[in-house]
């Protein structure tokens, strides 16, 4: 696991390239504290850099950027290839020899043997740049599920890429004038956009091929999840779920360093903890958070699981004082503005303090099995789409912030549906906050591109698509990555294993989604192993007492800090507990943006 960066530019001198990439890598040192490397092709003006977090093959044999045996292929790589040992064995049968125990070398040799076909064979979380001197081209490649981020700027004169948007600060890019609109509407910056103009997110399951001869480039998918239904029997679905999740966890336990699990006490993390403990034989550490605020403590639920596992248990008390003391640091660790990830920052800080470099997380189960309220609301929203546009637009005048979001259905588009489900502020409020014309805001939001595949989905399948490809992709995964890597901690996500997602996507919706019990199928699959108090309770999620903490913090919540009249009024509402903390935090970020 690492941070990577690179510049391909014919108009740069070699010293300029090295200095540029070095500065980019140094800005991401937190994500790769163990080693640093930079390689320059002087003839082609290609410079790749790497900051390394050593997890597999801790020796210098795993140093990056790594060259092939004949030095014709160079790779800068961030991630973990969970099936690298299987691929290594297959490649060895074809005569390939290996100098290291790293998965990085396996990627190089897999590419030498299968070419672009190698990308789909990789099972893991990854983002890498591969320079093929033979073909005179450069590849940027991102994993199937988009767990690891990769950002780029490409034109005929240059290709610049990095694991974090902040790294582009050394490249002179100007701000994206729409980023505040995106953030106030979504609570994050939706892909492919970033806070910088002309810097984009590489789509998941895709590669960008950049031709060094003429500066042309093309983005192509190497993998797309299918929505074909194959399993219509519940018992078969349960057996297959247990099989594939076990395989995923076994693969994701590979590490040459200590490994842990983020254990909240909820259903998803309890399943991951139980299964991981079965295969680590006591060499697992569970990391949990406690609070003085009793309503947020899941300690009693965790205890029911803790008694059944051999894992070394570490529970950390996180207080309001900790929140205030670390708040500005947490804000600086955000690669892009977001309303999530603060909880991940704190829990990964605890993991780091316990010497843990890799942790398993239960992220993804809610999105796959229907754990969110959006799965209940989606039918109502789709039915309301038949109302007149004028009537729907009148929702902007309602006082209730959730009901105001009905306005977004007037977009008559998937973007509008998603913002109705999960949006923060409506276009009229955003326009007032930013001093813009409302039509400017509407045009900006309506021009966000979405994959056409959603048009063929309905009901729970549609909600799952939104949660997987919008909320999780744009917010949870990005936030988890930069908040965890700010501590040099890698988060692995077994529920997002490519084969597990393939399986769950092939289960008939009537079986996959529980009508009267959220995540019913997942519960049925592990009911015998789980204490009833784990699955027979309302969903809580990985939640901190942020509503109370932010209201108490006058540096954030005092209306007097805000000159904008609308912002001042909204923060007054927050003080009266009539506004959610995520909406208040968005105002703080917007009006304190540097």
For 552-584, the pLDDT digits (tens) are 999 899 999 999 999 999 999 999 999 999 999
With 0-12 / 13-18 / 19 or more C-beta atoms within 10 angstroms meaning exposed / middle / buried, residue 510 is: exposed
Ranges of each domain in the chain: 2-221, 234-319+335-369+460-542
DSSP 250-293: HHHT--SS-EEEE--SSHHHHHHHHHHHHHHTT-EEEEEEE-SS
CA–CA distance, 445 with 186 (Å, rounded to integer)? 10
What pLDDT band is residue 64 in, cutting at 50, 70 and 90?
confident
For residue 455, the 8-state DSSP code is: G
Cβ distance 169 to 332 under 8 Å?
no
Residue 551 has pLDDT above 90, yes or no: yes
pLDDT in tens, 30-61: 887 777 889 999 999 999 999 977 665 555 66
Cis, bond preceding 192 (omega within 30 deg of 0): yes
pLDDT in tens, 399-436: 777 888 999 999 989 999 999 999 999 999 999 999 99
Class level of CATH domain 2-221: alpha beta
Specify the 3-state DSSP secondary structure of 492: strand
pLDDT in tens, 346-356: 999 999 999 99
What's the whole-number mean pLDDT along residues 199-211? 98
Bridge partners for 289 per DSSP = 316
Residue 388 has pLDDT above 80, yes or no: no
Q: Output 310 or 149, whichever has higher pLDDT.
A: 149
C-alpha distances in angstroms, 355 versus 56, 257, 281, 511? 16, 9, 19, 41
pLDDT of residue 181: 98
pLDDT of residue 208: 98
Residue 123 has pLDDT above 60, yes or no: yes
Closest to 476 measured CA to CA, from 456, 495, 498, 501: 495
CA–CA distance, 553 with 525 (Å, rounded to integer)? 43
pLDDT of residue 393: 84
CA–CA distance, 50 with 4 (Å, rounded to integer)? 5
DSSP H/E element including 126: strand 124-132
pLDDT in tens, 287-302: 999 888 756 556 677 8
Number of other CB atoms surrounding residue 269 within 10 Å: 25
Least confident of 207-221, 238-252, 379-393, 453-467: 379-393
C-alpha distances in angstroms, 78 versus 120, 347, 512? 16, 22, 33
- Predicted TM-score of the model (pTM): 0.94
pLDDT in tens, 495-547: 999 999 999 999 999 999 977 888 999 999 999 988 877 777 665 555 689 99
Alpha helices in 158-266 (DSSP H): 179-186, 234-252
What's the whole-number mean pLDDT along residues 455-480? 94
Give CA 502 to chain center in angstroms. 19
Give CA 142 to chain center in angstroms. 12
CA–CA distance, 488 with 232 (Å, rounded to integer)? 43
Cβ distance 356 to 504 under 8 Å?
no
pLDDT of residue 505: 95
What pLDDT band is residue 2 in, cutting at 50, 70 and 90?
confident
pLDDT of residue 559: 95
Closest to 224 measured CA to CA, from 200, 249, 207, 244: 207
What's the whole-number mean pLDDT along residues 260-274? 93
Strands 259-262 and 284-290, sheet pairing: parallel
pLDDT of residue 150: 98
Sequence-distant (≥ 6) Cβ neighbours of residue 292 within 8 angstroms: 317, 319, 320
Query: Mean pLDDT of all residues in the chain?
Result: 91
Cβ distance 412 to 390 under 8 Å?
no
Closest to 234 measured CA to CA, from 4, 563, 589, 524: 524
pLDDT of residue 148: 97
pLDDT of residue 540: 53
Cβ distance 564 to 184 under 8 Å?
no
Most confidently modeled range among 143-152, 309-318, 543-552: 143-152
**Percent residues over pLDDT 90 in the chain:** 75
pLDDT of residue 218: 98
What pLDDT band is residue 593 in, cutting at 50, 70 and 90?
low
Residue 228 has pLDDT above 80, yes or no: yes
The fold adopted by the segment(s) 234-319+335-369+460-542 is Rossmann fold (3.40.50)
Cis, bond preceding 520 (omega within 30 deg of 0): no
pLDDT of residue 455: 83
């Amino acid at each position: 696991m690492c941070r990577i960066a690179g510049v391909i530019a014919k108009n740069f001198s070699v010293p300029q390239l090295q200095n540029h990439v070095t500065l980019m890598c140094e800005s991401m040192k937190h994500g790769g504290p163990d080693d640093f490397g930079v390689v320059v092709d002087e003839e082609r003006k290609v410079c790749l850099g790497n900051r390394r977090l050593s997890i597999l093959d801790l020796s210098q044999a795993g140093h990056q950027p790594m060259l092939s045996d004949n030095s014709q292929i160079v790779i800068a790589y961030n991630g973990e290839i969970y099936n690298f040992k299987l691929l290594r064995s297959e490649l060895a049968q074809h005569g390939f020899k290996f100098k290291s125990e790293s998965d990085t070398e396996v990627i190089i040799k897999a590419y030498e043997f299968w070419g672009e076909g190698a990308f789909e064979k990789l099972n893991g979380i990854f983002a890498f740049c591969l320079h093929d001197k033979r073909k005179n081209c450069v590849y940027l490649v991102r994993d199937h599920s988009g767990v690891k981020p990769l950002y780029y700027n490409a034109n005929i004169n240059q290709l610049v890429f990095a694991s974090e948007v902040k790294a582009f600060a050394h490249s002179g890019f100007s701000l994206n004038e729409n980023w505040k609109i995106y953030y106030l509407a979504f609570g994050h910056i939706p892909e492919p956009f970033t806070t910088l103009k002309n810097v984009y997110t590489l789509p998941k399951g895709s590669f960008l091929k950049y031709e060094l001869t003429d500066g042309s480039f093309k983005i192509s998918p190497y993998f797309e999840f299918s929505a074909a239904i194959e399993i219509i029997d519940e018992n078969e679905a349960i057996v297959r779920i247990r099989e594939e999740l076990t395989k995923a966890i076994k693969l994701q336990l590979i590490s040459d360093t200590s490994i842990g699990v983020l254990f909240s006490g909820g259903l998803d993390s309890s399943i991951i903890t139980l299964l991981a403990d079965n295969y680590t034989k006591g060499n697992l550490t569970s990391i949990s958070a406690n609070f003085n605020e009793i309503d947020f403590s899941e300690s009693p639920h965790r205890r029911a699981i803790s008694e059944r596992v051999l894992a070394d248990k570490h529970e950390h008390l996180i207080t309001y004082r900790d929140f205030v003391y670390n708040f500005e640091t947490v804000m600086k660790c955000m690669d892009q503005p977001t309303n999530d990830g603060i909880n991940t920052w704190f829990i990964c800080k605890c993991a780091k303090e316990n010497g843990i470099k890799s942790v398993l997380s239960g992220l993804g189960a809610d999105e796959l099995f229907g754990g969110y309220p959006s799965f209940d609301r989606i039918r109502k929203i789709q039915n309301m789409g038949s109302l007149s546009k004028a009537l729907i637009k009148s929702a902007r005048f309602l006082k209730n912030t959730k009901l105001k979001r009905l306005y977004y259905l007037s977009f008559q588009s998937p973007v509008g549906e998603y913002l109705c489900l999960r949006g923060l502020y409506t276009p009229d409020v955003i326009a007032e906050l930013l001093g813009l014309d409302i039509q400017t805001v509407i045009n900006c939001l309506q021009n966000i591109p979405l994959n056409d595949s959603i048009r063929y989905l309905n009901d729970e399948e549609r909600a799952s698509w939104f949660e997987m490809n919008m909320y999780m992709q744009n917010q949870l995964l990005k936030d988890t990555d930069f908040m965890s890597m700010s501590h040099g901690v890698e988060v692995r996500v077994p529920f997002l294993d490519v084969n597990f997602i393939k399986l769950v996507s092939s289960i008939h919706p009537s079986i996959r989604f529980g009508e009267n019990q959220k995540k019913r199928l997942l519960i049925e699959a592990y009911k015998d192993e789980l204490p009833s108090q784990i699955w027979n309770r309302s969903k809580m999620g990985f939640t901190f007492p942020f509503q109370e903490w932010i209201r108490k913090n006058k540096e954030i919540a005092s209306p007097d800090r805000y000159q904008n009249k609308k912002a001042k009024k909204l923060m007054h509402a927050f003080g009266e507990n009539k506004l959610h903390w995520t909406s208040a935090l968005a105002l703080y970020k917007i009006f304190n943006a540097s």
